Amino acid sequence: MKKLLVSGLALMGLGLVLAGCTSKSSADKSSLNVGILQVVQHGSLDEARQGFKAGLKAELKAHGKSTKVTYHYLNAQGDQSNLNTMSQQLVQQKNDLLLGIATPAAQALAKKTTTMPTLVTAVTDLKAAGLVKSDSKPQTNVSGTSDLTPVGLQLKLLASMTKGNQPLGIMYNSSEENSVLQVKLAKAYAKKHNLKLKIVSATSTNDVSSVLAGLTGKISGLYLPTDNLMASAMKTIGAKAKAAKLPVVTGSIEMAEDGGTATYGLNYYDLGKQTGKMAYNVLEKNQKPQNMAVQTAKKLHLYVNKANTKAIGLQTSQIKEP
C-alpha cells in the first residue's frame, strides 16, 4: 500500500511539473518581445517603424491572435558607438525577434548575433551590406525588405521639371553604402540617356549647407537619394533649394514632404507593414529568416509637394508619372 501511495504521489508530482511547463509555454506564446534598433530619427525611418508595428498588429488580428507584443525601441541618433552598445543590449534581452531599421542598424545587430531571428527594413541592398547570401535565399538569420528606389525613373522625373542645359545635381553622403549604390545607378542611367550630372558629397549635417551653396547656379535641378544624412537635413535643403528656385526630386515620399518638390517612389509606412507581415510568419508560424526571400516595395507612388511646386514657379499639372 505504501509503495502504491508513494507511486501515486510521484505521478501527481510529475503531473504538476508537466502542467507547470505547459502553462509556462502557453504564457510564453501569449506575449512576445521585439527589439528595434533605428540608426537615426527622421521621417522615413520613423514611418517604417510605425508601419512595422501596424503590419504585425494587423496580421495578429486577422488570424485571431490575442498575443501581446512588447517593443524595446532604441535609437542610436546616428552614433556608431551607440549602435554597438544598443545592439548588444537588445541581443542580451533575448527578444523573440530583432528589427534593424536602415543599413548601419541592421549591420550592428547582425554582428552581435547569428542565431536570433532578425528582420530589417529601409536597407537598400542586403547582400552588398553583408546581411544575406542572396536575396532569394538569405541563408543567414536575417531577411527583410529593401528600399531600393527606381533611381532612373526619379532622374527622368527631375529632368522633366528642369529647363536649360545645366546638369542635374546629385548630393549624397559617400559614407552610406545605400547612397553609393544609388549614385552608381544614377550614373548608369545618365550615361544611357545622355544626361549630364554634377555629383557632390556631404558627410555631416554641418557640410550640407555649404556643399549645396557650391551647387547653386551650376545645376538645373537636384536629386537626393534615400540617404539618412540628406533625410535628416531635408528641411534645410528644401529651404535653400526653394530660395534658389531649384526643383528637388527625392528618393522617398517623406523627404519630398519635408521640403522636396516631388518624387516617384515608395512609401516607408507601407514598406514597414510588409516587414511586419514577415515578422508574423517568424513569430507565429515559426518560419526562419534564412529561408525567407528579401522583399521590395509592392507599390510606387507619384507625390507632389504642391506648396514647394508653387514656390519655385512650377505648375502641379506639369509633373507627371515618369
Q: 32-147+268-291, superfamily in CATH?
A: Response regulator (3.40.50.2300)
Q: Classify domain 151-265+302-318 at the CATH topology level.
A: Rossmann fold (3.40.50)
- Residue 205 pLDDT class (50, 70, 90 cuts): confident
Give me the mean pLDDT over the 97-101 stretch.
Answer: 98
* pLDDT (0 to 100) of residue 16: 38
Q: What is the mean pLDDT of the chain?
A: 91
Task: Give the H/E segment covering residue 230.
Answer: helix 228-232
Residue 198 has pLDDT above 60, yes or no: yes
Give me the mean pLDDT over the 207-223 stretch.
Answer: 95
Where in the chain do CATH 3.40.50.2300 domains reside? 32-147+268-291, 151-265+302-318
Give the relative orientation of helices 205-215 and 234-243 as an angle to the nearest 10 degrees: 20
- Residue 30 pLDDT class (50, 70, 90 cuts): confident
> Phi and psi (nearest 5°) for 141?
-85, 15
* pLDDT (0 to 100) of residue 164: 85
Q: Which three cell numbers stand for residue 86?
A: 544598443
Q: How far is the C-alpha of 222 from the C-alpha of 204, rounded, in Å?
A: 18
Q: Which three cell numbers stand for residue 269?
A: 509606412
* pLDDT (0 to 100) of residue 252: 92
* pLDDT (0 to 100) of residue 29: 65
Residue 223 has pLDDT above 80, yes or no: yes
- The larger pLDDT score, comparing residue 9 to residue 308, is at 308
- Residue 183 pLDDT class (50, 70, 90 cuts): very high
Find where cell 504585425 sits: 56
3-state secondary structure of 203: coil
- The larger pLDDT score, comparing residue 290 to residue 266, is at 290
Q: How far is the C-alpha of 253 from the C-alpha of 305, rounded, in Å?
A: 9
Find where cell 546616428 sits: 78
Give me the mean pLDDT over the 259-277 stretch.
Answer: 96
The number of angstroms, rounded, from the C-alpha of 308 to the middle of its chain's C-alpha atoms is 25
- Residue 6 pLDDT class (50, 70, 90 cuts): very low
Cα torsion at 230, 232, 235, 241 (round to 10°)? Answer: -10
Residue 15 has pLDDT above 60, yes or no: no
Residue 197 has pLDDT above 70, yes or no: yes
Q: Comparing C-alpha atoms, which of 32, 117, 108, 116 is closest to residue 67?
A: 32
- Residue 272 pLDDT class (50, 70, 90 cuts): very high
Residue 114 has pLDDT above 50, yes or no: yes
- The larger pLDDT score, comparing residue 91 to residue 16, is at 91
Q: Comparing C-alpha atoms, which of 175, 227, 219, 229 is closest to residue 197?
A: 219
- The larger pLDDT score, comparing residue 3 to residue 88, is at 88
Q: How far is the C-alpha of 161 from the C-alpha of 4, rounded, in Å?
A: 91
Residue 213 has pLDDT above 70, yes or no: yes
Which DSSP string corresponds to 306-318? HHHHHHTT--GGG
| Gyration radius (Cα) of the chain, Å | 24
Q: How far is the C-alpha of 127 from the C-alpha of 92, rounded, in Å?
A: 26
- Residue 318 pLDDT class (50, 70, 90 cuts): confident
Give me the mean pLDDT over the 82-98 stretch.
Answer: 97
Residue pair 263/250 in contact (Cβ under 8 Å)? The answer is yes
Q: Write the single-letter amino acid at 20.
A: G
Give me the mean pLDDT over the 186-210 stretch.
Answer: 95
Q: Write the single-letter amino acid at 177.
A: E
Residue pair 156/104 in contact (Cβ under 8 Å)? The answer is no
How many CA atoms lie within 13 Å of 300's alpha carbon, on the beta-carbon side? 16
Q: Using alpha carbons, list the distances in angstroms from residue 9 to 4, 20, 23, 261, 321.
A: 9, 16, 21, 77, 76
How many CA atoms lie within 13 Å of 145's alpha carbon, on the beta-carbon side? 29
- pLDDT tens profile 52-75: 999 999 999 999 999 999 999 999
